[in-house]
Structure 1
Amino acid sequence: MESYLELQVHRSHTIPKPFGGDHLTVACQLDAALPGYLSAAFHASALKRTAQFIAYAETDFDRPHIMAARLAAISPTDISAADPLAQMAKALILLRPPQIIQAVYGTVPPGLIGLLARFGHDPLRDPADYRLAFNLFSQPENRARTKLLGQIEGKITAKSLRIIARIDPIFLRPHVLERVRSETALEALHEALALIRRLVQSATDATLMESLDHLSPRDRDLSKWIEAWLRKSERLLITPPIPVDDPDLRLIPLKDLDEVGRRFGNCLGSRIAYGALGCRLYYEWGRDQTAAAIELRALSGGAWVIEQIRGTHNQPVTPAGLKAIRAKFSSYGVLSYVAPGLGRAGSRLASLLRAYDLADTDADEEFDDAVDGIVEELADLVDHA
């Protein structure tokens, strides 16, 4: 017991670092069985505290004699006591961190103690993370993951531990890890990777990893890397509503959106995410000397609706062209937005009132005469406002 008393004296020369939560509840139980344990735990080093927290996590406190016996079996001194909690408390004070880990897990994998020393003085919120750390170092297939843990500077957080344990192997590089700031971001990154692998035939592990080695410093969340790969998509997530042999409509492949956007002088190239996620489709119309780019939007039940129709440089398409385009899509069950009763003059009124999405409705000359006067009066009011 002399070493125990020496430790109690030594602790007075260090600054206590309290902890709370369930870990404090366990420490108080041990302190009730062996007075002085709580103070010793508060004065322990970061590594020693972590080793004790691991013992807490692995102990069945309905049967504490099991952990007490495991600790006693590895102790170089006699720590026997009538109360198994007192025996456990003595062992946790007297044993060195590697000995505690040996008793708890049965083995101490190379590198694990170095990692545990970097957890800091505070306990991890989820005790299961300690077992996660042990599993990473005890399984040879995780060598790349443990190597990456060793490349992190400073304190190791539970978040970093969980991300490295789960992240896809192609992302196991320090400059990628620093861009994955949360487990939510990791989930999104894995969804993006699955989408790229599904849509881009050339996206092998080798080509993906090579591209990661050339990340732009400006791509701080990997969104530009993801988008660059999606621009190479040869496939779609959904089945288009228009047959591929239709003579008037050409489905614009995702990989061609940039080129078509430049040709039309519009922003098609910026719509890659909508197309890749399967919620939009893009078509090109080239009949009757009418050039138009059409965006379809997915609806529930497998339906589609025309979201917008634009000519070159986003200019409006002629009423005759609009009518032909809508009729063609309608023949395949594609819906259109409607504004009942609006004709050409009504379209002008919609534009005046900044309801621009109604400005492409077909002409209705009977309605024109009735609305023209209203348009002129409103225009006068606006001019004199």
Structure 2
Amino acid sequence: MLEGGLLGWATAALVRLDDEVPGILSRALTAAPARRQAIFASLAAHAVKAGVFDAGDDLFPVSFAEVVRHGRVTDILRTAFGDVPEGYPGLLERIGERPLDRPQDYLAIHQMLARNDVRAADALRGSGRITRRKLEVLSALDPRWHHASTVERIDTGAEAITFNAAVEFVQSVCSRATDEAVAQAIGQMRPTSTLPRLLDRFVRRADRLPPHPVPAGDNELRPLTTMRDHLEAARKYRNCLASKVGHVAAGRIAIAEFRGECLLEFRPLTHSGGWMFWLCHGPRNSLVPISTLNAAAAKCDVLGIPRQDEDTGGAGWRSYRRITQELEWD
């Protein structure tokens, strides 16, 4: 049972109307979804205007009660709202048998149609049963991304705001991620597709990567400066670098290949203090021979790229780092 009675917040209002015109409560309980939701929407309009249902004995005029009892769907809605936007009865029918959680939700749908928000209306029509959750997601979601595919896959308004920010990041690193391209990709999503995969596809085509700490043109140490470089290196070394392209695009890590034998990972220092040589990764994240590791570190020294103080902790610390380096790849 819903909070407030059998029909939630609408129960008390229906009972009062039934006192004026007997049969209204029965009519609401047995009506088809379209008519029932029209009644709920009308009650919601009066509730929001009056503030509370028990504001007085004259809250609902007799004429309104008669229309609710005997009128058609459009008559009921017109009595409460005046103008009934095209498509409003159809969207109400998609709510189902129960009323929405709040009276304001009905007004939100009415206002959406009244301002001719075609994208939002189409998103609701294509996303199955209309719920308060979907309305909250739609309200928080950037209008550019209004689509049934996003409304169905995002659970809360907070997640919608996060998605907005994620798309903004993707667009900042990938020139191909235009509004039109992102909207088209959303519209072409398959049932098994996910929003994270959609964004990842754009990030893998990023062409606005941060400056690399290793200068180009060196015969020993080759900086990976494009997404193609990173994806090819991931295949060559058979590691998880392909899953780190987002970190690369965000400037959280940088990768360079040393002598075609291993990958060097660099991480940024705080307060824009440049970069640090962090780890060395062999094929399949295997250990790199000491001679190669020392040569790579010496190369970084020549380039003026600092590294972790290997003297701290002594030989035991260095051995520990060599054994656990593959765990630190994350």
TM-score calculated relative to the size of structure 1: 0.64
* Matched letter for residue 50 of structure 2: F
Counterpart selection for 1:324 from 280, 298, 304 = 298
Code of the aligned partner of 1:293: L
| Separation in structure 2 between the aligned mates of residue 306 and residue 33 of structure 1, nearest angstrom | 80
Cα distance per residue 1:306-338 (max 9 Å; x no partner): 442124554415352254256357x45x55275
Q: Distance in 2 between matches of 1:51 and 1:322?
A: 72
Which whole-Å deviations, capped at 9, do the CAs of 1:64-122 have from their partners, x for residues lacking one?
8x9x9xxxxxxxxxxxxx83446354443343331232132221122211221222221
CA distance in 2, matches of 1:151, 1:230: 28
- Kept in 2: contact 1:339–1:358 (CA 8 A): no
- The counterpart of 1:294, out of the listed 264, 267, 272, is 264
Give, as a single letter, the amino acid of the residue that structure 1 aligns with 2:265.
E
Q: Does the Cα contact within 8 Å between 1:33 and 1:83 map onto a contact in 2?
A: no
Secondary structure at the aligned position of 1:336 is classed as coil
- Pairing 1:102–2:78 present: yes
Q: What is the percent sequence identity of the aligned residues?
A: 21
The residue correspondences of 1:64-75 to structure 2 (distance < 5 A) are: none
Query: Who is 1:143 aligned against?
Result: 118
Higher relative contact order (CA 8 A, sep 6+): 2
User: Map of 1:155-304 to 2, 5 A cutoff?
Assistant: 155-163=129-137, 176-177=149-150, 180-183=153-156, 186-209=160-183, 211=185, 215=189, 218-219=192-193, 221-236=194-209, 242=213, 244=215, 250=223, 252-278=225-251, 280-284=252-256, 286=258, 291-297=261-267, 301-302=271-272
Query: Are the equivalent residues in 2 in contact too, given 1:136–1:165 (CA < 8 A)?
Result: no
**Aligned residue among 46, 50, 75 for 2:37:** 50
**Change in CA separation of 1:328 and 1:270 when aligned onto 2, cut-off 3 Å:** farther
Distance 2:59 2:152 in 1: 47
Change (3 A) 1:213 1:328: farther
1:168-210 deviation line (CA, Å, top 9, x unaligned): 5665665x35862523554444333222221111223444455
Which residue pairs with 1:308 in the alignment? 279
RMSD of aligned alpha carbons: 4.2
1:122-154, Cα deviation, whole Å (9 max, x unpaired): 1101322212221232233x234434544456x
Query: Partner of 2:89 in structure 1?
Result: 113
Shift of 1:56: 2.9
State how far apart, in whole Å, the 1-side matches of 2:265 and 2:81 are: 59
Amino acid at match of 2:75: Q
Hey, what's the Cα distance between the residues in 2 that align with 1:358 and 1:274? Answer: 17
What is the count of residue pairs matched by the alignment? 314
Inter-partner Cα distance in structure 2 for 1:324 and 1:50: 74
Aligned residue type for 2:324: Y
1:357 pairs with one of 301, 325, 330? 325
Structure 2: distance between partners of 1:173 and 1:192: 17
**Cα distance in 1, alignment partners of residues 163 and 228 from structure 2:** 21
Task: Give the TM-score of the pair, scaled to structure 2.
Answer: 0.73
Higher Cα Rg: structure 1 or 2?
Answer: 1
Corresponding residue SS for 1:295 = strand
Quick one: distance in 2 between partners of 1:113 and 1:44? Answer: 14
Residues 297/217 of structure 1: CA separation in 2 closer, same or farther (3 Å cut): farther
Partner-residue secondary structure (3-state), 1:109? coil
Amino acid at match of 1:231: R
Aligned-partner Cα distance in 2 for 1:85–1:216: 48
Contact 1:33 1:85 in 2 (8 A): no
